Chain A
Amino acid sequence: MRTPLPVLVGIAATAVVSLVLPFVLDRGGLALYIDVALTACVVVGISLLMGFAGQVSLGQAVFFAVGGYTAAMLVLSDVPALVGLVVAPLAAGVLALLLGIPLLRLHGHHLAFATIAMHLIFLVVVRQFDSLGGSVGLMGIPALSVGSVDLADHQSMALVSLGVLALVMLVAHNVVASRPGRALRALATSETAAESAGVPVGRYKLLVFALSGAFAGLAGGVWAYYVGYLSPGMFPVSMSITFVVMAAVGGMGSIWGALFGTVLVKVIVSYLGTLGTASGMPDYAPAVLSYAVYGLLLIGVLLFLPHGVVPELRDRTARWFGRGRPAPSAGDTQNGPEPDAAAAEPEPSRPAARP
């Protein structure tokens, strides 16, 4: 795949800015940076799941939580922190695989609902386990350290989060660019057509679900080390939904879109949060403002930019340079939430390869 120069410049600039930011941000900024980087890991997974497998998960916070709890339990029983970071994505991925076998038989809104149910069941189960701290949660999770190197401070955690995000994006990119990735794009457009072209639809959907679970689990593990405590109350259903909001805003099926959506939503919400906690504002202002932002952003993007911000921008710039694909016609909206597979990558879509 030949990458156009402006895109390369953009990627390089993003990388440089991300590397410089941890050294110039203050403490609050670093906390937001870490939050954005780890959330983006989850959102990349959702973006793949929604854009490429055509599935929606409204329970992704479960895998984030499972990763966190796994890493925390391991490190609390004196396993090295780094091992926790390897096991956390594995545990979340395997759980997603096992849950996916029955759940992914469901389609569309049934699946959306089943994943919310999965989230609610998870919350009930966690509260019942005393070894997981029940409703109170796990306290005193040691900070991340590798050997004798202590990575507890905000700056190191920001760099670790950036590394984790880079890894997730690299894996996601390679999956998308691979042969199964092309089959996945066919799958997102029409399951029936993909199936008849010989794509093992069920297996691929399951693998993407597991992969997105593993991404969330990895992020959850890092997050557990960073915040130092975990409780079921930290994973409300609205958390899962906000992940989907960010994926939809950035553009489903677009890795950079996932990053962009996360940054945009998190920064706006954080800015409004600061505004809401300013003196003279009522104490419920931050909650009201953030709910309103999630609601308005999601409505606006779904109705007016159905492909999400990044694919839309890419289409417009491509047209600007005069070598892009033709503009998506009005008929494209017939695809609705199934993002146009071709819009996800800056190359002409090809028929699904026979695996």
Chain B
Amino acid sequence: MTQFLMFLINGIAIGCGFALVGSGLVAVYRITGVVNFAQGMFAVVAALSATSFVAMGIWHGLAELIAISVGGLAGLITGVIAVGKRGTQPLTALLVTLAVGFLAYAVEVLVWGDHPRSLPGLSGRIDLLGVPVQRQYLLVIAVTAVVFVLLWLFFARTYLGKVLTACASNPYAARVVGIDVTRMAFIAFALGGVLGGIAGVLIAPLRPISFDTDVSLIVGGFAAAIFGGLTRPMMALLGGVLLGITETMIRAYGNASFATMGALVFLLVIMIWQAARRPTVHKESV
């Protein structure tokens, strides 16, 4: 039983990582209608920068914060390239974010080489109702909870959040009332970069990160985000946690090599089920 609870908490922590990557996807999709395939890259860039900053002797915490802002910057640059040009359609922008991912590979390999790096996190375990839990896992869960509450407050309670939501629901009307939709799209990408960056620095102590880790991160993040139809952050959190638990349980009690496959099949089944429920409703050229 203790062991099961331990796996459960590990699963929730891993799922929180997916949910954070997914929340970045949701933030960008909600506002721009673009699925940002570079989202995993933000996490990788932040994690790799954090390892460099720590190696330079910058305090833990501060190093992570700087790394997260590097993630935000990467997000902003991606946004400028992907949606900065007028009239870029969402599917074109999707391919552009893939291309930005390729460019980022070049930069990452140039700066950090192609070997995986890891980041020291919180060490040790604490006893939680008789269950030993790694402190880093608790940190991941706590930060995720805070981030999602802030994200909810941001979208529901702040003026900027409402402006962003307006851009998402009707870009034309938003433009009519004087909102600079392009600038809002850049803010969305930067926000996505920050969220991805948070995910990156939290995950890096749990698993080594190399330039091509972004594929597995984006897959997990997308699976989480799709759970909420790519627009609802809280559903993305739920999806991410479910996915993390499923993966951990497959790894613990089944065949470890099928863990990722479980996530993918989960993702496909949900997408196809969603598509089958509303077979005729889809937007042209999206």
Contacts and interface: CB of A to CB of B under 8 A. Distances in A.
Contact of A107 (B226, B265, B286): B286
A334 B285 CA distance: 10
A299 B103 contact: yes
B258 A284 contact: no
B102 A113 contact: no
Contacts of A241: 98, 102
Where chain B touches its partner, the secondary structure class is helix
B91 A337 contact: yes
A298 B89 CA distance: 15
Contacts of B272: 102-103, 105-106, 114
A299 B97 CA distance: 9
Contacts of B98: 58, 241, 244, 298
Q: Give the dominant DSSP class at A's interface.
A: helix
B94 A112 contact: yes
B96 interface: yes
Interface residues of A, number: 51
Given A105-B276, A303-B96, A336-B92, A116 B271 contact: no
A111 B281 CA distance: 15
B106 to A, nearest CB: 4
Contact of B94 (A105, A109, A191, A284): A109
Contacts of B186: none
Given A105-B275, A303-B96, A336-B285, A298 B110 contact: no
Interface in A83-119: 102-103, 105-110, 112-114, 116-118
A190 interface: yes
A128 B91 contact: no
Contacts of A238: 102
A233 B101 CA distance: 20
Contact of B271 (A114, A190, A291, A303): A114
A120 B264 contact: yes
Interface string B270-286: 01100110010010111
Contacts of A306: 92
A335 interface: yes
A108 B105 CA distance: 25
Nearest to A334: B87
Interface of B: 35, 81, 85, 87-92, 94-96, 98-106, 109-110, 113-114, 215, 219, 222, 226, 257-258, 260-261, 264-265, 267-268, 271-272, 275-276, 279, 282, 284-286
Given A109-B35, A336-B88, 11 more contacts: A58-B98, A106-B271, A113-B226, A113-B267, A114-B271, A124-B260, A192-B284, A245-B99, A295-B104, A295-B105, A302-B99
